[in-house]
């Protein structure tokens, strides 16, 4: 939420009205509610030209994103994964500022449920192995220990 307010502040400082926040970008998919606990993936582009893909990938990395890609048929999809719901609006705004014209927002599907702890984990009982008894061998001058299993 703080990031969204900061983005609105940047718009106000730049002289842009708040409704023009995403006017230069086409967004496919539903903008998530900021109080959702789901994770989202943002597709910033799909490329057949490897040079354009590398330039866009490096642009995102240079500006603080952690982009990944997936190959689909003859295309390379440029993705930003595991984005929290309250960070999607800010990420979309930043992508628009970087010159990306389209954005596809989808919900992450393979997200494990959050861990909840209702009680302390049971203590595991560890059995310590029995230490073998040492007995000297009497026939030699030096002491030799013989281990006997019981």
Q: What is the pLDDT along the chain (150 residues), one digit of tens a residue?
A: 455 444 544 454 444 444 455 567 889 998 898 888 899 999 999 999 999 999 999 999 999 999 999 988 899 999 999 999 999 999 999 999 999 999 999 998 864 555 555 555 555 665 655 655 555 555 544 444 444 555
Per-residue confidence (pLDDT) for residue 1, from 0 to 100: 47
Per-residue confidence (pLDDT) for residue 55, from 0 to 100: 94
In angstroms, how far is CA 5 from the centroid of its own chain?
23
* CA distances to 50, 72, 88, 92, 117 from 105, in Å: 23, 17, 8, 9, 31
């Amino acid at each position: 939420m703080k990031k969204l307010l900061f983005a609105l502040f940047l718009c106000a400082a730049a002289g842009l009205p708040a409704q023009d926040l995403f006017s230069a970008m086409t967004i496919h998919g539903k903008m998530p509610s900021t109080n959702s606990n789901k994770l989202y993936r943002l597709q910033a582009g799909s490329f057949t030209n490897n040079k354009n893909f590398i330039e866009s990938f490096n642009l995102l990395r240079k500006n603080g994103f952690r982009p990944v890609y997936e190959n689909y048929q003859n295309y390379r999809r440029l993705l930003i994964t595991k984005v929290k719901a309250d960070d999607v609006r800010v990420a979309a705004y930043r992508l628009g500022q970087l010159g990306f014209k389209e954005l596809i927002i989808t919900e992450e599907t393979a997200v494990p449920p959050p861990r909840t702890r209702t009680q302390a984990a049971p203590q595991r009982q560890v059995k310590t192995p029995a230490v073998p008894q040492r007995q000297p061998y009497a026939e030699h001058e030096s002491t030799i220990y013989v281990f006997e299993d019981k």
